[in-house]
Structure 1
């Protein structure tokens, strides 16, 4: 008997693992630390398709990283406008958003470059920049469509770790491997183990937390379903058979759910009770904190808070946008630069072939967020007080402050104050030196 009870403890009737079947083992009961969960393409797609929280985790950073897009800095305004128009025609913003979304879901996000050359070419060959005619299209796709990646494994090579060729699914009615040179594809990959070529899907390390999150949703649903229940007491119950009790329970359950009035005998008793939910909030907060920490996304962002506006107390959201800005600079910017170089090399795109190295140009990402009116006023007040100290101690002149804060055309919508640590230290040292000299002169 005891052995039977012990074996029963190893199982739990949980809809997530067993679809309501008690003979299915719950993964959390026998969880092993460090055990890697490998998810198939079908499992990843199913998780994404059936859970809106997962869709937020995958989609929101991809939307934020491209939401305000870019500004191209160069002296030739006509050339800049032509490049930006071509990017709009190619729907580059949407393609880069999808590339990052696919990267988070499958581990790899890719964009194919549909170039036209002045001579015949094979996709296995690198792009010949001297023969480029035009860039006809770009298409974003996921790592699910990549059979394998051929990468450089020579640790003494300058190109160590980089992919040289991609093997895509074979073309219809062809037995030949469909290889594409790396120069014809933009590749976004941020999580990869050293001995693997494909990136790791974000949902794999999140799987246990998402399992607990789904279980908590089911548990809360059960609590709400049984939040209030009734108990019926009668001496006649003891004389009923099992079948009679079941029939009476079904009848009374139906009546008590559909009728507000219950007619009972003198010695019978009907009570209404509520489920105790004390401590449930702390448990749910713990699950949310774990999910937020694992995804490096604030809970308010995961839940779909309005993007772009921040109040003074939302430091976690500010840190999140700082990470998004770092992703833009370190991960997306090189891909955008490669795309623009291809456009400049094309003979028929921008009025003739242009060597990207012959002109000065730079990609700048537009600001991701702004602060609410109250926080903005408080920041401007503190900056004005700081400027007043600088002017009084001779660190800056009033003209320098005017140029820095107001620019040529009046008050700027965003502060020009950078907040750079080196700048702050330098100014602080200068203020201290001026104050020390002033005290020595007065003494």
Structure 2
């Protein structure tokens, strides 16, 4: 039985026992909800915790737990959330409201859900197939011969549906370059028979990557690039730190359990009590002989502050994702956070993502409305930028300055400004009062009045005045 003469020896003993228990007890025995990051004691520098080859199972686990899912999803959600406007190419100056309404309804009812899943799966796995269902009277494994048939539905193909991706070959049996998918074979265990879908009935969405690995046709081949591959090790480090911090707080409440022993404690009781400190973290009942008083050792050697380590990991994570550091903190809190510079940087990347999505969305909209639209049109995304309350107030202030200047220089009337903002026109009484206030503002208040004379406020120099010239 161990006997300790000072705090340092006690701390070393407890830390050693805590580590040994942490890697040898099963999660059920520990009572802790998460698995250990690694239950083996045989990891070395040559055989580390980091995965050399990342599998789809690994990616899915990171997606379902913690920050990995937010890294995959958020930028897609932000790109799609504010919708789009349709313009007729021959008259691009003004949005086509009726056509915008029609195509928005098609998008909401038939496209949004499945396209969103396909885009997220492409980001998670590197690629995804989107089935474009047409009622042309042919089986899915036959080439689409009549492309004028309308798309009736779309379906994002889950990864576990696909057993093989078949590539086109030339007459000699060699795969053609550039590589082109001919069909995908589906899982017979799901569909009850051997089934395939011809590539002409599919839209392939690829998240771009180097794609240097040899493509065999296995659905686990590296086609495109998962957005979780580059930050995978950093996310793993964060997961391990979260687990360790949770173990520390759950086991010892922020410190290590110590004992004040009574002077008359027998050597046997002393040894048994001190030796049990390493095991007490895995138990639910404190049972010591009468007269023993429990306390907590909050020494620097007993408790580490994890905050600096998390901060370093978040900085590294920001370097290998589309998300600046302050936006990553927002992913964790669920709040609209981030510095103005970081928000501007992030939303510029959202706009790039919108342009990528346009390639697929325009084709889908044309497929669902094939033959119905007579004019050539184009799609413009509405701004995805989310304004903070401070930014909204700044915009209102600037707009007020602009409106004030326009009224004073007779460019627009108050009614025109109110109509633009969706407000009703001023009543005659309001117009009379407005003219009175403007007149008094220009003339100044008469001498002897309680208030000081006030000149009309000048517009900022950044506002351009429109000069009116006589004929």
Superposition TM-score tier, normalisation by shorter sequence: 0.5 to 0.7
Partner of 2:434: none
Aligned pair partner of 1:86 in 106, 115, 131: 106
Distance in 1 between residues matched to 2:360 and 2:272, nearest whole Å? 73
Q: CA deviation at 1:201?
A: 2.1
Distance in 1 between residues matched to 2:97 and 2:391, nearest whole Å? 36
**8 Å CA contact 1:106, 1:144 repeated in 2:** no
Partner of 1:111: 130
The residue correspondences of 1:18-417 to structure 2 (distance < 5 A) are: 19-25=38-44, 29=48, 37-49=52-64, 51-74=65-88, 81-90=101-110, 92-117=111-136, 120=138, 123-126=141-144, 128-130=146-148, 132=149, 134-146=150-162, 147-148=164-165, 150=167, 163-169=180-186, 178-181=196-199, 183-196=200-213, 198-224=223-249, 225-226=251-252, 227-228=254-255, 229-233=257-261, 239-240=267-268, 244=272, 263=291, 272-276=296-300, 277=303, 280-297=306-323, 298-306=327-335, 313-329=339-355, 331-345=356-370, 353-354=371-372, 358-382=374-398, 398=409, 402=412, 409-411=419-421
**8 Å CA contact 2:262, 2:291 repeated in 1:** no
Structure number with the higher helix fraction is: 1
Q: CA deviation at 1:207?
A: 1.9
Q: CA deviation at 1:209?
A: 0.7
**Per-residue deviation, residues 301-334 of structure 1 (Å, max 9, x unmatched):** 3215345xx78x43212322221122012x1101
Structure 1 unaligned regions, length at least 5: 1-11, 154-158, 346-352, 392-396, 414-427, 435-443
Distance in 1 between residues matched to 2:365 and 2:331, nearest whole Å? 33
Output the aligned Cα RMSD: 4.8
Distance in 1 between residues matched to 2:130 and 2:383, nearest whole Å? 25
- Rg comparison, structure with higher value: 2
**Per-residue deviation, residues 130-177 of structure 1 (Å, max 9, x unmatched):** 4x1x32211112455442263799xxxxx97574434232655766x7
**Per-residue deviation, residues 166-221 of structure 1 (Å, max 9, x unmatched):** 4232655766x72522x422222123224456122222222211111011112212
Q: CA deviation at 1:231?
A: 3.3
**Per-residue deviation, residues 223-258 of structure 1 (Å, max 9, x unmatched):** 323323223457788944998457876999999965
Distance 1:234-1:63 versus aligned 2 partners, 3 A rule: same
